[in-house]
Amino acid sequence: MFAFARDGYGREIVALFVLTVLVTAAVAGGAGAVADLWFKSAVESLVGVPGEFDVIVHLQAQAGRGAVRELGERLEAIAPGTRLKEGPALLGRFNVFAGLPGEKRNAATFESLDAALRDLPGFDGISYIVEPSVLVKDAHPAVRQRFVDEAARDPRVRFTFQRGGNVWVVAEHAEAAEGVRARLEEAAGRLGILDVRFAGPHSAEELAVFARSVEEAAASEYPAIRVAHLGSGDSESVRDLLEVKRLLAGVAAADWQGLRRTLEQAEAAVAEAAQDSTVREDIAAALDAFEQAVAQLETLERRAVQLREQLKEVAGSDGGTGVLIALLLERLAAGLQGGQQEAAAPPAVDVERLKSGIASLAERLASIESLDFEPVIDEVRRLEESLAPLKDGAGERFLELIDKAIEAQGGEGTRVEFLLEGDWTRVDPAALVEEAAPGALKAFVRPAAAIESDPRTALSRLLARAVGAVRLAAGLLASAIFFLLDTVTIVSFLQLRPDGTGWAPRPRRAAAAALGGAWMAATFGAAAWLAGGGEWWAALVLGFVTGWLLACAAHRVAPVDADEVQAGLSLGLGGGEILREIVVPGGRPGILIWLNHFGRRIPAAARR
Amino acid sequence: MLEVYKLTKRFGERIALDGVTFRVGRGETLAVMGPSGCGKSTLLLAIQRLVRVDSGEIWFGGEPVMHLKGEMLRRYRRRIGFVFQRQQLVGHLDALENVLLGPVLAGTPERKARRLAEQALEQVGLLSKARDFPATMSGGERQRVGIARALAMQPELILWDEPTAALDPMLVDDVIEVMTALAKQRSTAMIVVTHELPFALQVADRVVLMERGAVVGSGPPREVLFGGEGEIARRLRRLYEVRYGGTSLPAGRRDDRTERSDEERRRTIPAGRSILAM
């Protein structure tokens, strides 16, 4: 029966293949085009047309709408004619898009914007989305200026500006940005950082000796690569993490628990004082301890705010892609839910409330002779409730996470850095350091900077992948439908015994199922290739698996009547004739039944 | 016209055909009888090359057919009509289209094919139901369409695989009558696998008795069925006595073909009706 194609049915099979590929490609391409349009319109409705907005200013939602108005006024003063658009609120932050007027789109404005807005109520950082631009991200301080100089030499570059460890290179136009990006990527490809970590502290002399050894070893091992010692010291990010750890350790280990206990004691003492005024000293002592704890809390909070500001500065200086993605997802989610949702601000301990509570208690204590103790007890209870957001064990969990982060950064200890110029990917850091410094804990090489496109371009690349996924899914669906309507009938026919006396033994059915898988892989793969995009290889794999699974169930999905086939054989019909006159017309309506219509002879003969 | 020689077929451990040998002459009617599962149906399928046998030879019209493949095999099959027990009509084709299937695809010009099909349907008394679909027909009508489908091919031999076994007893006579009429015409040889004793006794020229895939008796019907000493012959005799009463046995067809008139022979067929134009 596998010879049905030779029996005169080959033409229909070829036509079925071609039509399946064309229709599947049209469906996949159409779905991809619709998705592309939808994504583009979603992006444009969020960030405007290319070049319309330059920054996203983040404001804490708690600051209220007044902060947004004040931002507008402030920007109008800095750069008259600035366009403003309020984006979706996300994680308790308002996100305001701002487009500076042409004459103010320069390095000086962008570099000073953060300082100009810092004292704005609720100000929570800036994300830069200047277009068209190329971002030199996380550039090592030793090479940052090199990138600035490299960009300055390119006539396609309008200007550059720096924030944190990042350098933005603003191009004249979108096409130029691609060329600038390629140039900077080439430059970045030649610069690497060799990072060596030691388990414990080392003296400056020891590190200098070690640095010389590494430079000598590298010179002999990799003569084409220039190695320069950059310096030694603690890791900057590890230092930050340790600071956070110390802060949280203080909070988690003693303060909150102590504060709770003190409050409970104060409540008990006040309650007792209601019965006996001789315990006045005890109450005073409890309140003193309470006051100290709150003071300590205040200090901790101040340090936390400072740290948060530092971290915000780092976060606010990113390329904006992360922020844009978050905003876009938020917008899409809100669109799907039929409305915009604002995330609530996280709960915080009200230190001011605690302090005023203490003052109130102390005042009442001073006039204890005439004190009505019921309100005092209520006051203490209220103070205790202020601590409710702090759950036991939360601090410990934060500490564990920080320890993991420090470990991921290479752990605590001294680090030594070298600049590698040349093909630094060839360097084997472990082997190089092993000879020069056997005591080193860890050694690795990394790029000196990462080159990224502006957020819209980066986002477009991400969305292009999403469009590809939509195209693939639509193609798979169309392909599977055609398979179920047409191919599965042929597979079912092939799973019969050649003499039509029933279902064939398992090996023959497995071969037919594999043939079904190959058919769908070929049609889906060809359709994906035709529809464009690079998903054809995924389509081959997906197509084979789906086709094979559907083909395995062919005898259930589209059972062919073995009796009818046997009758056809007994009349001297070939496999192709049986397919055309008996099997296919009895199957599901699809492309094959339409193609089959042209070759059928029986209905026409009966009409004559 | 057909010679079967030492045909052997196994389905795993089970022997379906065990060295079956016989011959059928032109226009001759051969009844094949035996208990269920003795290999009768397999024998018919093997003759039309619808199952592959393990060994043995078949000659048709003096030519060996076991080596035939492709178009040659299909031509051989077209020379032999097959009437199935379950009719096996194509559900989405009406009666006329089912009957046209063979001649049209054998290359017969469409007008001629249509004429042949209509003649065949008329022969089985179903021309008026030519455009009816199998699902709307009774079992007997469907079986007669199956017979017309075989007849329209103008075969030299028709294989009948228990054509009345799946029918309501009320409809059996219609089919037997068609078979009898065809046998009487003697234009087509027939091999009929049947459990209908009266048919075998009065219409068949010879009977082949089978048991466990092997031929255990062969010859004129009366001789084989009532003269044989084997277990199968004894059981058939007992069955006939119970079903048709007494021991007065009708005369065998071959033995007294010349003495008996057509009218007499027709009378001896139980419950037969004459609706066919002979």
More reliable by pLDDT, B101 or B229: B101
Report the run of H or E that residue A157 belongs to, with start and end: strand A157-163
| CA distance linking residue A327 with residue A93, whole number of Å | 11
Tens digits of residue pLDDT in A375-427: 667 766 766 666 554 445 555 665 666 666 666 555 555 778 889 988 888 88
Whole-number pLDDT of residue B102: 92
Whole-number pLDDT of residue A24: 92
Q: How far is CA A205 from CA A233, A234, A415, A418, A490, in A?
A: 13, 16, 14, 17, 81
The mean per-residue pLDDT over the stretch A33-46 comes to 86
Per the listing, tokens 């008259």 go with A80
How far off is chain B from A604, nearest CA to CA, in Å? 9
Tens digits of residue pLDDT in A253-287: 545 666 666 777 777 776 776 666 566 666 676 66
B104 band by pLDDT with thresholds 50, 70 and 90: very high
What percent of chain A lies above the pLDDT cut of 90? 19
Whole-number pLDDT of residue A201: 62
* Interface predicted TM-score (ipTM) of this complex, two decimals: 0.85
* Cα angle B60, B63, B65; round to 5: 70
Q: CB distance A571–B45 less than 8 Å? A: no
End-to-end CA distance of chain A: 31
What percent of chain A lies above the pLDDT cut of 70? 69
A chain contacts of residue B100, beta-carbon cutoff 8 Å: 602, 605-606
Whole-number pLDDT of residue A12: 87
The mean per-residue pLDDT over the stretch B202-208 comes to 89
B chain contacts of residue A574, beta-carbon cutoff 8 Å: 71, 74
How far off is chain B from A328, nearest CA to CA, in Å? 55
Residues 6 or more apart whose CB falls under 8 angstroms from that of A460 comprise A43
B chain contacts of residue A579, beta-carbon cutoff 8 Å: none
Tens digits of residue pLDDT in A422-455: 888 888 888 877 776 666 667 888 898 989 888 7
Tens digits of residue pLDDT in A306-341: 655 554 554 444 556 666 666 666 555 555 444 444
β pairing state of A450-453 and A93-99: unpaired
The string over A267-293, giving b where at least 16 C-beta atoms fall within 10 Å of a residue's C-beta and e elsewhere, is bebbeebeeeeebeebbbebbebbbeb
B chain contacts of residue A605, beta-carbon cutoff 8 Å: 97, 100, 104, 110, 113-114
B chain contacts of residue A589, beta-carbon cutoff 8 Å: none
> Are the C-beta atoms of residues B188 and B209 closer than 8 Å to each other?
no
A293 band by pLDDT with thresholds 50, 70 and 90: low
B3 band by pLDDT with thresholds 50, 70 and 90: very high
Whole-number pLDDT of residue B78: 94
| CA distance linking residue A338 with residue A335, whole number of Å | 5
Whole-number pLDDT of residue A566: 92
Whole-number pLDDT of residue B68: 92
B23 band by pLDDT with thresholds 50, 70 and 90: very high
More reliable by pLDDT, B225 or A423: A423
The mean per-residue pLDDT over the stretch A449-465 comes to 85
Q: Please name the member of B88, B113, B149 whose beta carbon is closest to the beta carbon of A563.
A: B88
Tens digits of residue pLDDT in A475-490: 999 999 999 998 899 9
Q: CB distance A499–B45 less than 8 Å? A: yes
Whether B268 shows a pLDDT value over 50: the answer reads no
> Are the C-beta atoms of residues A516 and A491 closer than 8 Å to each other?
yes
A563 touches chain B (CB under 8 A): yes
Tens digits of residue pLDDT in A125-179: 888 888 889 999 888 888 888 999 988 898 999 999 988 788 999 998 888 888 9
Whole-number pLDDT of residue A346: 35
Q: Please name the member of A564, A582, A601 whose beta carbon is closest to the beta carbon of B104.
A: A601
- In this structure, chain B runs to a length of 278
β pairing state of B80-83 and B63-64: unpaired
| CA distance linking residue B172 with residue B85, whole number of Å | 12
Whole-number pLDDT of residue A205: 74
| CA distance linking residue A543 with residue A536, whole number of Å | 10
Three-state DSSP string of chain B? CEEEEEEEEEECCEEEEEEEEEEECCCCEEEEECCCCCCHHHHHHHHCCCCCCCEEEEEECCEECCCCCHHHHHHHHHCEEEECCCCCCCCCCCHHHHHHHHHHHCCCCHHHHHHHHHHHHHHCCCHHHCCCCHHHCCHHHHHHHHHHHHHCCCCCEEEEECCCCCCCHHHHHHHHHHHHHHHHHCCCEEEEECCCHHHHHHCCCEEEEEECCEEEEEECHHHHHHHCCCHHHHHHHHHHHHHHCCCCCCCCCCCCCCCCCHHHHHHHCCCCCCCCCC
Tens digits of residue pLDDT in B46-62: 999 999 899 999 999 98
| CA distance linking residue A486 with residue A16, whole number of Å | 8
Tens digits of residue pLDDT in A53-66: 898 898 888 777 78
Q: CB distance B110–A605 less than 8 Å? A: yes
**Residue type for A597, please?**
H
The mean per-residue pLDDT over the stretch B234-251 comes to 64
Residues 6 or more apart whose CB falls under 8 angstroms from that of B7 comprise B17, B19, B20, B21, B43, B46, B53, B55, B56, B57, B58
Whole-number pLDDT of residue A245: 64
| CA distance linking residue A223 with residue A66, whole number of Å | 62
Q: Which residues pair with B215 in a beta bridge?
A: B210
Compute how many other C-beta atoms are within 10 angstroms of the C-beta atom of residue A428. 12
What's A534's DSSP letter? Answer: S
More reliable by pLDDT, A291 or A110: A110
The edge-to-edge listing of strands for the beta sheet with A450-453 is A157-163, A166-171, A133-137, A450-453
| CA distance linking residue A270 with residue A283, whole number of Å | 6
Whole-number pLDDT of residue B170: 73
> Are the C-beta atoms of residues B168 and B140 closer than 8 Å to each other?
yes
Residue ranges of A 214-273 with Cβ closer than 8 A to chain B:
none
**Phi and psi for A548 in degrees, rounded to 5?**
-65, -45
Whole-number pLDDT of residue B275: 25
B80 band by pLDDT with thresholds 50, 70 and 90: very high
Residue to test with chain A: of B50, B127, B129, most A Cβ within 10 A: B50
Whole-number pLDDT of residue B262: 43
Whether A600 shows a pLDDT value over 90: the answer reads no
Quote the tokens at residue B129.
């139901």
B171 band by pLDDT with thresholds 50, 70 and 90: confident
Q: Which of B70-79, B93-102, B169-178 has the lowest mean pLDDT?
A: B169-178
Nearest to B187 by CA among B45, B4, B49, B1: B1
Nearest CA in chain A to B152: A571
B chain contacts of residue A501, beta-carbon cutoff 8 Å: 45, 50-51
A608 touches chain B (CB under 8 A): yes
More reliable by pLDDT, A43 or B192: B192
| CA distance linking residue B31 with residue B200, whole number of Å | 6
Nearest to A31 by CA among A421, A455, A532: A532
Nearest to A357 by CA among A378, A388, A335, A373: A378
| CA distance linking residue A346 with residue A332, whole number of Å | 23
Q: Note the maximum CA span of chain A.
A: 123
Report the run of H or E that residue A116 belongs to, with start and end: helix A107-117
Per the listing, tokens 């020069």 go with A436
Whether B75 shows a pLDDT value over 90: the answer reads yes
Whole-number pLDDT of residue A264: 74
How far off is chain A from B276, nearest CA to CA, in Å? 24
**Residue type for B245, please?**
G
A chain contacts of residue B50, beta-carbon cutoff 8 Å: 499-501, 566, 569-570
Residues 6 or more apart whose CB falls under 8 angstroms from that of A196 comprise A210, A214, A415, A416, A417, A418, A429, A433, A437, A440, A442, A443
Tens digits of residue pLDDT in B250-261: 544 444 433 334
Whole-number pLDDT of residue B256: 40
Q: pTM for the full model? A: 0.63
Nearest to B245 by CA among B176, B198, B199: B198
How far off is chain A from B73, nearest CA to CA, in Å? 8
**Phi and psi for B133 in degrees, rounded to 5?**
-90, 150
Cis status, amide bond into A132, omega within 30 of 0:
yes
| CA distance linking residue B4 with residue B80, whole number of Å | 15
Per the listing, tokens 């669109």 go with A335
Q: CB distance A606–B113 less than 8 Å? A: no
Whole-number pLDDT of residue A89: 77
| CA distance linking residue A265 with residue A268, whole number of Å | 5
Q: How far is CA A202 from CA A216, A416, A451, A489, in A?
A: 20, 11, 34, 77
β pairing state of A133-137 and A450-453: antiparallel
Nearest CA in chain A to B89: A564
A5 touches chain B (CB under 8 A): no
Nearest to A186 by CA among A129, A146, A141: A146
A606 touches chain B (CB under 8 A): yes
Whole-number pLDDT of residue B252: 42
Whether B44 shows a pLDDT value over 90: the answer reads yes
